[in-house]
Amino acid sequence: DSGVTQTPKHLITATGQRVTLRCSPRSGDLSVYWYQQSLDQGLQFLIQYYNGEERAKGNILERFSAQQFPDLHSELNLSSLELGDSALYFCASSLEDRYNEQFFGPGTRLTVL
């Protein structure tokens, strides 16, 4: 168990809908990362937050947004969902400057029907 928690575990929704995925980092970790894992794209970095501020950005779609709250938990919002958004979404966390030691949560499996 990495100490990173993600909810929900599974999410099934329809095209065009909006969902929110939640992540609680390990105690003491200030950085939170979001990754998408799909069969065709593999593991792709989406975005990183550090202590509430955006720190790095990957190829995150404009329909996707994230934020990190004062209590350090993070949410990933996915809107106008498409079939191709079906994937596993992982959150990871690390100590403030230890980008090289990211601890991954168990993931949220999103299915868009």
Partner 1 sequence: QQQVKQSPQSLIVQKGGISIINCAYENTAFDYFPWYQQFPGKGPALLIAIRPDVSEKKEGRFTISFNKSAKQFSLHIMDSQPGDSATYFCAALIYNQGGKLIFGQGTELSVKP
Helix-, strand-, coil-residue percentages of the chain, each rounded to 5: 5, 55, 45
Cα–Cα distance for residue pair 69/106, rounded to 1 Å: 21
- 113 contributes a contact to partner 1 by CB under 8 A: no
- Nearest approach in angstroms of CB 46 to partner 1 is 10
Neighbours of 112 (CB within 10 A): 19
User: Binding residue for partner 1 (CB under 8 A) from 21, 66, 92, 112?
Assistant: 92
What residues line the site for partner 1 (CB under 8 A)? 2, 4, 31, 33, 35, 42-45, 48, 50, 55-56, 58, 90, 92, 94, 99-107
